[in-house]
């Protein structure tokens, strides 16, 4: 069959709705009669016994209909999905500033928000651990530390001609989705609850709401048409919001909506883990790494949440694109009295990759080489030096080719020489340039999550409703899967409508995460559509007396031997002859297997690659800096939709640059997050875009694995292209190889570095 929609740069299916304000997000849904609005009372202590909580003032406040506390939870007071250490409402103990204590339900948003400040809460303060270094000292961990060793790192380090080490800190990041957390729960007849939730994982919201309200999964329906961005922040965290709405709805018998205010959202819900990275590296004269010892300590916050798999991914990705023959990685998952850290685009991968890129950069500066040369020295080979430290054989390495192409198209060498000249003549302003690679493993590392389902209906008029377990957060999943289904049935994509993610249509779906949304849901939907096509084909063969091989579908028609029948007409005929026109599809990712106890196997089906060259300019008197130009070459395999993929690459890069240059999370000594609004937390804006921004998708490079139309996942990998901006800044200010530039490279961080290592 000729592909018609797949591979085309079609606009996002909701683009016309996004730009005209007609795309309905959860808060835009018509509000049911009797709706109550919720607000959360939050802990003001980082670690304390809860002595008493007097909510009489809250209850007496105008408009308040009721309150909900831990005592009102009929079932489990927990929303932790892996480890059950995440209370919905604090019960006796508070563990971070911002932790929910209770919810107030009132007739308006303002009334609810005003009422919560009337609570009188007594605390007996306990010692609070805020930062990961102290946590390591005190052995305060949410999960046991993990070690992965390959080869003989100690021997290799001892015998290496050169050796250096150090410590670098790497900040976290708030997801800063434009739509904050929100859920609306509506009681249904006979004990059912319907929850509209802005969630990447409706299935998890369903099961956690069921547990908390003492119901069964069958009693709960969770629906999400779209999110206004998620970036990992709505993977596990949405369950908290959905559950509180459901508990309040259950208690009051009325529909309840909880929409977090931006500041509360930033204070109450999790973000990217910040890391402290210690390293000890041994290398030869060419900069080839002989032995490496990493110690990672990440701030996990007060509970485990997704910290296990996030830190595992950091361990997996601390090779980035480099062969580490003798390596030890020790990973601490630190328990701190701060909000529980969670998923964020890249899921620990970016932190691991930052670590190795920092080491490479250090080696280059110690040897007075271009970091590019050191990168190339250490790249994985194609037929040798091609086994990762977790024993996966890399079968699709294209990083050398990517570099070759990008070095030419970006004129790296020419510009580098020109920048050196500029810097020699410029006292205050310094320019810098860096090229960094990305190799990112695709699949959930937890093998069981790599499964997906879809439900396809063909109606009598030949049009299609498509549903799958994936959620839409702006990344373009719905259009991509619709393209696949349109082509499978040979119909115009206009005849395919994707309906909201809904736990009553496709059950037990994994989170839309790990960039695997289109890989998995695309395949599942294709299988569902193929079943229906097969049934119609079999019917048509019987009906027209031809062989099945003589039947094909394209351009809204069926070609049946020498006959052409309109697709709707054939569908109508099939229906009249009692052919089922609805089917489910199911997919599980092949080839993967992985043993968590030994950290070995094949956790990833394949790798997605990319590379970026970033040029920056830094004012060495103020530390201010700008990206001047970015050149990106990214691998999407045979792209399902190059327009959507290009958007993902651009957006991912900009988000990565924001993480490493302007976005700074800052907690005070008491554990209060100081940066909880855009006034103090600086995400990139349009004016921060590189004035010269050149983004290309790698052409003619089909995925070597049999993914959907040989495409590759693109959601997360481009974020790590942003590493090049950090190393370009380091390049601009590097006078002294030992200089420590910590991330994010804010003006302050840059100035501190310059002061420690005075140059000129």
Site for ligand MTE, rule CB under 6 A: 229-232, 345, 473-475, 477, 512-518, 648, 651, 713, 715-716
Per CB under 6 A, the segment of 80-88, 344-352, 420-428, 549-557 that binds ligand MOS is 344-352
Task: Report in angstroms how near the CB of residue 8 gets to ligand MOS at its nearest.
Answer: 26
The answer to the question of residue 661 lying near ligand MOS (CB under 6 A) is no
Rule CB under 6 A: which of 685-724 touch ligand MOS?
716
With CB under 5 to 8 Å by kind, the binding choice for 207 among ligand MTE, ligand MOS, none is none
Residue nearest to ligand MTE (CB): 517
Chain centre distance of CA 304? 17
Give the residue among 456, 451, 590, 480 at the shortest CA–CA distance from 531. Answer: 456
Per CB under 6 A, the segment of 342-350, 356-364, 461-469, 573-581 that binds ligand MOS is 342-350
Distance (Å, whole) CA 308 – CA 305: 8
**Among the listed residues 176, 344, 609, 727, the single contact to ligand MOS using CB under 6 A:** 344
Tokens of 199: 């969630």
- Is 716 part of the annotated catalytic residue set? yes
Task: Report in angstroms how near the CB of residue 447 gets to ligand MOS at its nearest.
Answer: 16
Q: H-helix or E-strand containing 51?
A: strand 48-54
Closer CB to ligand MTE, residue 78 or residue 475?
Answer: 475
With CB under 5 to 8 Å by kind, the binding choice for 603 among ligand MTE, ligand MOS, none is none
Chain centre distance of CA 659? 13
Which is the catalytic residue, given 235, 663, 716, 760? 716
**Among the listed residues 220, 343, 493, 729, the single contact to ligand MOS using CB under 6 A:** 343
Closer CB to ligand MTE, residue 637 or residue 715?
Answer: 715
Strands 327-335 and 141-150: antiparallel
Closer CB to ligand MOS, residue 522 or residue 568?
Answer: 522
Which 3 state secondary structure label does DSSP give 493? helix
Q: Would you say the C-alpha torsion 434, 439, 445, 449 has a positive or negative sign?
A: positive
Task: Report in angstroms how near the CB of residue 577 gets to ligand MOS at its nearest.
Answer: 45
Closer CB to ligand MOS, residue 343 or residue 540?
Answer: 343
Task: Report in angstroms how near the CB of residue 175 gets to ligand MOS at its nearest.
Answer: 9
Tokens of 723: 């590493």
Task: Report in angstroms how near the CB of residue 664 gets to ligand MTE at its nearest.
Answer: 20
The answer to the question of residue 403 lying near ligand MOS (CB under 6 A) is no
Rule CB under 6 A: which of 507-526 touch ligand MOS?
513-514
**Among the listed residues 89, 102, 275, 347, the single contact to ligand MOS using CB under 6 A:** 347
The answer to the question of residue 345 lying near ligand MOS (CB under 6 A) is yes
With CB under 5 to 8 Å by kind, the binding choice for 229 among ligand MOS, ligand MTE, none is ligand MTE
Closer CB to ligand MTE, residue 231 or residue 323?
Answer: 231
Angle between helices 723-733 and 747-756 (to 10 degrees): 40
Tokens of 148: 């992965």
The answer to the question of residue 96 lying near ligand MOS (CB under 6 A) is no
CA angle 472, 478, 480 (to 5 degrees): 130
Q: H-helix or E-strand containing 18?
A: helix 15-20
**Among the listed residues 171, 229, 232, 470, the single contact to ligand MOS using CB under 6 A:** 232
The answer to the question of residue 200 lying near ligand MOS (CB under 6 A) is yes
Closer CB to ligand MTE, residue 229 or residue 656?
Answer: 229
Task: Report in angstroms how near the CB of residue 518 gets to ligand MOS at its nearest.
Answer: 13
Strands 256-259 and 64-69: unpaired
Closer CB to ligand MTE, residue 12 or residue 332?
Answer: 12
Tokens of 46: 């980082």
With CB under 5 to 8 Å by kind, the binding choice for 279 among ligand MOS, ligand MTE, none is none
Q: How far is CA 613 from CA 366, 629, 648, in A?
A: 22, 8, 17
**Among the listed residues 235, 319, 615, 664, the single contact to ligand MOS using CB under 6 A:** 235
**Hey, which bits of 451-556 come out as E strands?**
451-458, 464-468, 496-498, 501-502, 551-554
Closer CB to ligand MTE, residue 100 or residue 346?
Answer: 346
How far the first Cα of the chain sits from its last, in Å, is 66
Closer CB to ligand MOS, residue 347 or residue 379?
Answer: 347
Helix extents (H) in 167-277: 202-212, 238-252, 262-268
Distance (Å, whole) CA 701 – CA 721: 19
Task: Report in angstroms how near the CB of residue 584 gets to ligand MTE at its nearest.
Answer: 20
Tokens of 250: 């259950």
Distance (Å, whole) CA 720 – CA 614: 12
- Find out whether 315 and 148 touch, Cβ atoms under 8 Å: yes
Closer CB to ligand MOS, residue 377 or residue 515?
Answer: 515
The answer to the question of residue 439 lying near ligand MOS (CB under 6 A) is no
Closer CB to ligand MOS, residue 345 or residue 468?
Answer: 345
Task: Report in angstroms how near the CB of residue 532 gets to ligand MTE at its nearest.
Answer: 24
Distance (Å, whole) CA 341 – CA 394: 31
Tokens of 674: 């100081």
With CB under 5 to 8 Å by kind, the binding choice for 637 among ligand MOS, ligand MTE, none is none
Give the residue among 330, 326, 319 at the shortest CA–CA distance from 295. Answer: 330
Per CB under 6 A, the segment of 116-124, 218-226, 343-351, 730-738 that binds ligand MOS is 343-351
**Hey, which bits of 151-267 come out as E strands?**
162-170, 182-187, 193-197, 220-224, 256-259
Task: Report in angstroms how near the CB of residue 173 gets to ligand MTE at its nearest.
Answer: 11
What number of chain residues touch ligand MOS (CB under 6 A)?
10
- Find out whether 647 and 11 touch, Cβ atoms under 8 Å: no
- Find out whether 213 and 159 touch, Cβ atoms under 8 Å: no
The pair phi, psi for residue 530, each rounded to 5°, is -65, -35
Give the residue among 175, 96, 40, 134 at the shortest CA–CA distance from 665. Answer: 175
With CB under 5 to 8 Å by kind, the binding choice for 551 among ligand MTE, ligand MOS, none is none
519 contact partners, CB below 8 Å, separation of at least 6? 442, 589, 605, 707, 708, 711, 713
Task: Report in angstroms how near the CB of residue 347 gets to ligand MOS at its nearest.
Answer: 4
Give the residue among 422, 276, 434, 292 at the shortest CA–CA distance from 365. Answer: 434
Could you list the residues that contact ligand MOS (CB under 6 A)? 200, 232, 235, 343-345, 347, 513-514, 716
The catalytic site residues sit at 716
């Amino acid at each position: 069959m000729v592909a018609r929609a797949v591979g085309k740069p079609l606009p996002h299916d909701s683009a016309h709705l996004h730009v005209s304000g007609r795309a309905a997000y959860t808060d835009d849904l018509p509000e049911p009669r009797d709706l109550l609005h919720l607000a959360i009372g939050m802990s003001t202590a980082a670690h304390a016994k809860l002595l008493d909580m007097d909510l009489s003032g809250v209850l007496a406040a105008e408009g308040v209909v009721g309150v909900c506390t831990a005592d009102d939870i009929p079932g489990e007071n927990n929303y932790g999905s892996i480890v059950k250490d995440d209370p919905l409402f604090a019960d006796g103990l508070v563990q971070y500033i911002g932790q929910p204590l209770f919810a107030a339900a009132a007739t308006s948003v303002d009334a609810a928000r005003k009422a919560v400040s009337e609570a009188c809460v007594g605390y007996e303060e306990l010692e609070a651990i805020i930062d990961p270094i102290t946590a390591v000292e005190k052995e305060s961990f949410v999960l046991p530390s993990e070690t992965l060793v390959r080869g003989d790192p100690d021997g290799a380090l001892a015998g290496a001609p050169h050796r250096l080490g150090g410590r670098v800190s790497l900040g976290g990041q708030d997801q800063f989705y434009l739509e904050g957390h929100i859920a609306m729960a509506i009681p249904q007849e006979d004990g059912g609850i319907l929850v509209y939730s802005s969630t990447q994982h409706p299935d998890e919201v369903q099961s956690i709401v069921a547990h908390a309200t003492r119901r069964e999964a069958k009693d709960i329906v969770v629906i999400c048409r779209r999110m206004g961005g998620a970036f990992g922040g709505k993977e596990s965290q949405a369950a908290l919001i959905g559950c509180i709405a459901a508990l309040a709805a259950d208690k009051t018998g009325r529909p309840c909506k909880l929409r977090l205010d931006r500041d509360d959202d930033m204070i109450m819900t999790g973000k990217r883990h910040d890391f402290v990275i210690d390293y000890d590296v041994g290398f030869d004269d060419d900069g080839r790494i002989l032995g490496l010892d990493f110690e990672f300590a990440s701030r996990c916050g007060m509970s485990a949440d997704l910290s296990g798999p996030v830190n595992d991914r950091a361990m997996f990705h601390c090779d980035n694109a480099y062969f580490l023959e003798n390596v030890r990685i020790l990973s601490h998952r630190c328990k701190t009295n701060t909000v529980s850290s969670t998923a964020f685009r890249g899921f620990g991968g970016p932190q691991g990759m930052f670590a190795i890129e920092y080491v490479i950069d250090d080696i280059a500066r110690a040897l007075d080489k271009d970091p590019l040369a050191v990168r190339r020295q250490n790249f994985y080979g194609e037929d040798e030096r091609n086994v990762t430290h977790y024993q996966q054989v890399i079968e699709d390495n294209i990083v050398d080719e990517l570099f070759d192409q990008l070095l030419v198209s970006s004129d790296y060498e020419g510009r580098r020489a020109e920048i050196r000249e500029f810097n020699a003549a410029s006292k205050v302003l310094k320019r810098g340039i860096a090229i960094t690679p990305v190799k990112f493993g695709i699949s959930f590392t937890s093998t069981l999550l790599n499964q997906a389902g879809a439900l396809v209906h063909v109606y009598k008029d030949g049009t299609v409703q498509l549903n799958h377990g994936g959620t839409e957060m702006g990344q373009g999943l719905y259009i991509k899967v619709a393209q696949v289904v349109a082509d499978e049935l040979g119909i115009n994509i206009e005849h395919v409508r994707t309906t909201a993610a809904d736990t009553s249509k496709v059950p037990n779906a994994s989170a839309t995460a790990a960039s695997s949304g289109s890989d998995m849901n695309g395949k599942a939907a294709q299988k569902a559509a193929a079943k229906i096509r097969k049934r119609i084909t079999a019917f048509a063969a019987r009906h027209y007396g031809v062989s099945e091989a003589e039947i094909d579908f394209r351009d809204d028609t069926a070609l049946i031997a020498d006959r052409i029948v309109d697709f709707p007409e054939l569908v109508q005929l099939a229906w009249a002859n009692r052919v089922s026109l609805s089917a489910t599809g199911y997919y599980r990712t092949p080839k993967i297997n992985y043993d968590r106890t030994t950290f070995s196997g094949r956790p990833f089906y394949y790798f997605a690659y990319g590379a970026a060259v970033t040029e920056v300019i830094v004012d060495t008197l103020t530390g201010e800096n700008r990206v001047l130009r970015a050149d990106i070459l990214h691998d999407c395999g045979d792209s399902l939709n190059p327009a959507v993929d290009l958007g993902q690459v651009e957006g991912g890069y900009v988000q990565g640059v924001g993480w490493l240059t302007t976005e700074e999370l800052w907690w005070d000594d008491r554990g209060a997050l100081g940066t909880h609004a855009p006034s103090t937390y600086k995400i990139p804006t349009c004016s921060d875009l590189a004035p010269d921004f050149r983004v290309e998708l790698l052409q003619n490079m089909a995925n070597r694995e049999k993914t959907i139309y040989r495409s590759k996942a693109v959601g997360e990998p481009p974020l790590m292209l942003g590493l090049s901006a950090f190393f370009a800044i380091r390049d601009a200010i590097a006078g002294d190889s030992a200089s420590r530039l910590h991330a994010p490279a804010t003006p302050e961080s840059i100035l501190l570095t310059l002061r420690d290592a005075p140059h000129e």
